[in-house]
Structure 1
Amino acid sequence: MELTISNLSKTYSNGVQALKDVNLTIKQGMFGLLGPNGAGKSSLMRTIATLQEADSGSISLGSLNVLTQKEEVRQILGYLPQEFGVYPKVSAEDLLNHLAVLKGITNRKERQEIVKALLYKTNLYDARKKNLGGYSGGMKQRFGIAQALLASPKLIIVDEPTAGLDPAERNRFLNLLSEIGENTIVILSTHIVEDVKELCSDMAIINKGEVLYKGNPQDAIDEIQGRVWSKRIAKSELETYKKTHVVISDKLVGGTPVIRVLADIAPEGFDAAEGDLEDVYFAKIFGTQVITV
């Protein structure tokens, strides 16, 4: 099964064009959607998830028309939005059981087995009787994945899932996503480059509603190898370098900027640097602008 997005556009009532003629084909596995806040990622995810209308274009999931066959799509869709609410005084087991009923899993024995399996899969079984209000951020995210997996979805959308998680919880969550992506289309929408680099075999970079790159993360990195150069400079020199070089990022190291630039030939005084996905991201998103990190 494939998800095909063709010429998709969306403009909100305030005049903001969130999506501009978006074209993507997404196959089974982990697909990373990279972009800064406000790039249009959430607008695209909400449209795919049948939560808002598009102005023009089409989306198909296998033989289903996502924009017109919404109920059929929802039966095979799992969705974890960037922010989702839980009932703080309800246990994980009880709420997951309730959500399973809403998903149409009405057979009690079948439902209990599914809920038990999902709690084990997300490593929440031992805390199944605990109220969700007492869960950590990472545990809540794992509960979010558990509810998204109800009814064995063919497409799972997760929007900024690792924001705010500590390193240990982030690793647990990413490992879970990777396992799920072996048999399902999983769209990981994020602004965290490392998440995409570690998990995804296919990706797109989006900004201001437009797709700037679509392809394999390693292929994108290979394209810029031998063209990334770095140099430690004085703070007072930064504006000059912005005018004379394609500066893709700068980072303070020991209180002074280290800049990275794109060039086919080594600029004077620069050292060769190994390109990575962060360089690709900055180059596509910001062009000649400097981003301080």
Structure 2
Amino acid sequence: MELVIQNLSKTYPNGTKALKNINLTIPKGMFGLLGPNGAGKSSLMRTIATLQEADTGSIMLGDLDVLRQKEEMRKVLGYLPQEFGVYPKVSAEEMLDHFAVLKGISNPKERKEVVAALLQQTNLYDVRKKNLGGYSGGMKQRFGIAQALLGNPQLIIVDEPTAGLDPAERNRFHNLLSEIGENVIVILSTHIVEDVTDLCRNFAIINKGEVLLTGDPLEVINNLNGRIWRKFIHKSELAAHQAQYDVISSRLFAGKTIIHVLSDVQPGVEFEPVNADLEDVYFSRIFEATKGERHEPAEVIMN
């Protein structure tokens, strides 16, 4: 089964063009949707999840017309939005049981078994009696995945799930998503490049409502090798280098600024070649899409 999105567009009443003729084919497995804040990722996720209407275009999940068969779509969808609220004085077990009722699991014995199995899968069974208000950020995200898995969905959407998690919780969440992605379509919407590198066999870069690139992360990285050059500079030199070179990103290291420059040939003797990674792919595509606009090079923040 595939999720096929064709010619999808959305303009909000204030004139913001959130989605511009989006075309994507998303197969079973983990699919990364990568882009900066405000790129249109959440707008696309909400449209797929039937939470907002599209102006034009179509979305098909196998034979299911997502935009026309909303109720049928919701039966096979698991969704963890970016802002996921919980009732702080209710236990995880009670809350998940309530969600199971809403999902149509009416038999009490079946519901108890489903709830227990999902709490085990998300490593929350030992704290199932604890109120959700006492959960850490990572535990709440894992609970969010547990509720998204109710009803054996064919498509799961997770929107910015690892933002704010500490490294240990992030690793636990990655392992859980990787396990889930073996059997269903999982769309991971994020601005954290490492999440896509670690988890996804296919991905797309979206910016300003447009798809800039799709493909296999390893393949697109290989295509960029030989075009990324590095130089250590003083921060005061950044503006001059930006004016002279295609500086796609910068980061601080040991009191110095490291810049990455996109070039088919060595920009100068003081530049050294570096092996490209998905971060370079991401920043180079954003840079090329906005070339000619006045902007600062991306400052890398390691997550």
Q: State the TM-score, normalized to the length of structure 2.
A: 0.95
Q: Which residue of 1 aligns with 2:297?
A: 290
Residue 172 of structure 1 aligns with an amino acid whose one-letter code is R
Q: What per-residue deviation string (whole Å, max 9, x for no partner) do you get for residues 122-167 of structure 1?
A: 0000000111011110000000000000000000000000011100
Q: What per-residue deviation string (whole Å, max 9, x for no partner) do you get for residues 237-265 of structure 1?
A: 22221122111111122222111111111
Q: Map 1:64-79; keep pairs closer than 5 Å.
A: 64-79=64-79
Q: Which residue of 2 aligns with 1:156?
A: 156
Classify the secondary structure of the residue corresponding to 1:150.
coil
1:277 and 2:284 correspond: no
- Structure 1 residue 235 displacement after superposition: 2.6
Q: What per-residue deviation string (whole Å, max 9, x for no partner) do you get for residues 45-87 of structure 1?
A: 0000000000000000010100010000000000000011111
Q: Which residue of 2 aligns with 1:175?
A: 175
- Structure 1 residue 200 displacement after superposition: 0.2
Equivalent pairs, count:
293
Q: Map 1:228-267; keep pairs closer than 5 Å.
A: 228-267=228-267
Q: Distance in 1 between matches of 2:234 and 2:93?
A: 57
How well do the aligned residues superpose, as a CA RMSD in angstroms?
Answer: 0.9
Q: Map 1:121-160; keep pairs closer than 5 Å.
A: 121-160=121-160
Classify the secondary structure of the residue corresponding to 1:110.
helix
Residue 81 of structure 1 aligns with an amino acid whose one-letter code is P
Classify the secondary structure of the residue corresponding to 1:163.
coil
Q: What per-residue deviation string (whole Å, max 9, x for no partner) do you get for residues 155-187 of structure 1?
A: 000000001110000000010000000000000
Q: Distance in 2 between matches of 1:28 and 1:283?
A: 28
Structure 2 residue runs without a partner (length 5+):
none
Q: Which residue of 1 aligns with 2:99?
A: 99
Q: Which residue of 2 aligns with 1:87?
A: 87
1:21 and 2:24 correspond: no
Q: What per-residue deviation string (whole Å, max 9, x for no partner) do you get for residues 105-128 of structure 1?
A: 001111111001000000000000
Classify the secondary structure of the residue corresponding to 1:145.
helix
Classify the secondary structure of the residue corresponding to 1:84.
coil
Classify the secondary structure of the residue corresponding to 1:51.
coil
Q: Structure 1 stretches (4+) deviating beyond 4 angstroms?
A: none
- Structure 1 residue 285 displacement after superposition: 1.3
Q: State the TM-score, normalized to the length of structure 1.
A: 0.98
Residue 273 of structure 1 aligns with an amino acid whose one-letter code is V
Q: Which residue of 1 aligns with 2:110?
A: 110
Q: Distance in 1 between matches of 2:54 and 2:45?
A: 11
Residue 125 of structure 2 aligns with an amino acid whose one-letter code is Y
Q: Which residue of 2 aligns with 1:54?
A: 54
Q: Percent identity?
A: 70
- Structure 1 residue 24 displacement after superposition: 0.1
- Structure 1 residue 292 displacement after superposition: 2.1
- Structure 1 residue 234 displacement after superposition: 2.5
Q: Distance in 2 between matches of 1:70 and 1:181?
A: 23
- Structure 1 residue 40 displacement after superposition: 0.2
Q: Distance in 1 between matches of 2:181 and 2:246?
A: 37
Q: Relative to structure 2, which stretch is displaced further, 177-186 or 245-254?
A: 245-254
Q: Which residue of 1 aligns with 2:119?
A: 119
Classify the secondary structure of the residue corresponding to 2:161.
coil
Q: Distance in 1 between matches of 2:152 and 2:106?
A: 15
Q: Distance in 1 between matches of 2:140 and 2:124?
A: 10
